[in-house]
Amino acid sequence: MIITKDIRYIGVNDHKIDLFEGQYDVPNGIAYNSYAIIDEKIAIMDTVDAGFTQEWMDNIQKTLGDRLPDYLIIQHMEPDHSANIMNFINRYPEVKIVSSAIAFKMMKQFFGTDFEDNRIVVGENDTLSLGRHELTFVTAPMVHWPEVIVTYDSTDKVLFSADGFGKFGALDVEEAWACEARRYYIGIVGKYGVQVQNLLKKAANLDIQIICPLHGPVLTENLGYYINLYNIWSSYRPEEDGVVIAYTSVYGNTKKAVMQLAEKLKEKGCPKVTVNDLARCDMAEAVEDAFRYSKIVLATTTYNSDIFPFMKEFINHLTERNFRNRTVAFMENGSWAPVATNVMKGMLEKSKNLTYTATSVRIMSALNEESSAQIDNLADELCK
C-alpha cells in the first residue's frame, strides 16, 4: 500500500485470532500495522505480532528491494508490535533501534538484552533526519503504556500514532470506523483519558494530514471527525443523547420490567434506547454503549446479599475506565431483603459527576401496580 511517495504500508492482517488481548472478540480480525519510510536512509516503523514474522519480513524485502533499512523505530512495546525486534536485528545486524529509555528497559525484559550496540534513545522533541524526511518524536506516556512515543514526519505531515486512533478489524474487511474504534479505545485506552488529552494538546500544534496507527486503517480524510471523537471519548463526555439499559435476570421478571421500561422510553420519544443482557451480550459492547450514551439504567437482582455477578463485572469495567458525567438510574429485584440498588450505588461512589434519578424501581419478585408505576415515573424522568 502506498501512503505517500516515500511511505509504504508493510503490515499484516490477522484472521486467525479469536480474542484480542485474550478478551476482546474480533470477528473481523485485527491488523498489525508497520510502515517503511524510504529516503536517503530507511526507517521501519514498529514490527508485528510473532505469528506473522515471515510475512512481515517478506513485505519488507518486497518493499525495499536491494536496499537495507537503517533504523527500526519502536513506538510501543506490547508484543503485537515489538515481538520481532530480535528477528529484525538478526536479519539486519547493522540497523539502529530508535526508542524511548523505558522501551529499552522493556526490551531487556522481553529479549534479555537492551541492544546497547544498536540503540538510539529518544525523548520529547528529539529529531531524526532520514534525508528529505525529518522525524520528531513526541512522548505519550500511558497512552496506554509508559514507554510510548509517537512520531511526526514534518515532510509528508504524517503522524505515526502508536495505539492512538486504533481500531479492531483487519484492513481487508470493509466496515465503519467509529463502532470498532470506540470499542477498541474504551476497552484498551479508556482508563487513560487525561494522558490522551495531553497527547491531543501536543498534536494540536502539528500540521497533520495523515494518521498512521498501529491498528486499523490509515486515516487520510476528515481528520477533524476522528480527532473530535477522540476528544469526546478521552474527556468522558457522552457522544450521543440516549438511554442504555444494562440488566441481568434470573427467572425473567427483571427482564420483563426492563422491556416495559424500554417500551415506555420509546413511546415517550427518547432518541435512542439500547438494551444489553449482560449474561449474554459481548461485555465490551455493553461497556462501549455505557460510554457512548448520556444515560444508563442498571437493573439487577439481589444475589447472595450482593448483586448478580455479571452486573458486578460490568460496573467494575465502568469504574476501571473512569466512568463519569452520566445520568444513572437503578432497578432492583429481590424476593426478600433487596439490596441491589445500594450495592450498585456504592460501587459507583468514586465515579465523578454522576447524576442519579429521583426515581428508582423496586420489584419484589414480580411486577405489580406499584413497581409498574415506578417504571412510568422513571421513563418520564429519563425522557425529560
All three cell numbers of 22, joined, read 485474550
**Does the pLDDT value for residue 342 go beyond 90?**
yes
pLDDT confidence band for 224 (50 / 70 / 90): very high
Please write the tens of the pLDDT for every residue from 142-201.
999 999 999 999 999 999 999 999 999 999 999 999 999 999 999 999 999 999 999 999
* Res 163: pLDDT: 96
pLDDT confidence band for 13 (50 / 70 / 90): very high
Please write the tens of the pLDDT for every residue from 184-202.
999 999 999 999 999 999 9
126 burial via Cβ count (<10 Å: 0-12, 13-18, 19+): middle
| Euclidean distance between CA atoms 103 and 88, whole angstroms | 16
Please write the tens of the pLDDT for every residue from 26-79.
999 999 999 999 999 999 999 999 999 999 999 999 999 999 999 999 999 999
Phi, psi of 112 (to 5 degrees): 80, 5
List, in order, residues 6 or more apart from 34 with CB less than 8 Å away. 9, 10, 11, 12, 44, 45, 46, 47, 48, 56, 59
| Euclidean distance between CA atoms 193 and 44, whole angstroms | 29
DSSP result, 37-67: EESSSEEEE----GGGHHHHHHHHHHHHTT-
To the nearest whole number, what is the mean pLDDT of the chain? 97
If DSSP codes are grouped into helix, strand and coil, which group holds residue 181? Answer: helix
pLDDT confidence band for 210 (50 / 70 / 90): very high
- Nearest CA to 10 among 78, 104, 88? 88
All three cell numbers of 282, joined, read 459481548
* Res 384: pLDDT: 85
Average pLDDT over residues 112-129: 97
If DSSP codes are grouped into helix, strand and coil, which group holds residue 30? Answer: strand
Phi, psi of 271 (to 5 degrees): -65, -30
pLDDT confidence band for 116 (50 / 70 / 90): very high
Cα dihedral 58, 61, 63, 68 in deg (nearest 10) = 150
pLDDT confidence band for 271 (50 / 70 / 90): confident
Phi, psi of 181 (to 5 degrees): -70, -40
| Euclidean distance between CA atoms 136 and 334, whole angstroms | 59
pLDDT confidence band for 376 (50 / 70 / 90): very high
87-104 burial: b if 16+ Cβ within 10 Å, else e: ebbeebeebbbbbbebbb
Domains of the chain: 7-234 (3.60.15.10), 240-382 (3.40.50.360)
- Nearest CA to 182 among 284, 325, 80? 284
207-226 burial: b if 16+ Cβ within 10 Å, else e: ebebbbbbbbbbbeeeeeeb
Q: Check residue 239 and give left, alpha or beta (phi > 0: left; psi -120 to 50: alpha).
A: alpha
Computed on alpha carbons and rounded to an integer, the radius of gyration of the chain in Å comes to 24
Please write the tens of the pLDDT for every residue from 291-337.
999 999 999 999 999 999 999 999 999 999 999 999 999 999 999 98
**How far apart, in Å, do the first and last CA atoms of the chain sit?**
50
DSSP result, 117-137: TTEEE--TT-EEE-SS-EEEE
All three cell numbers of 158, joined, read 504524517
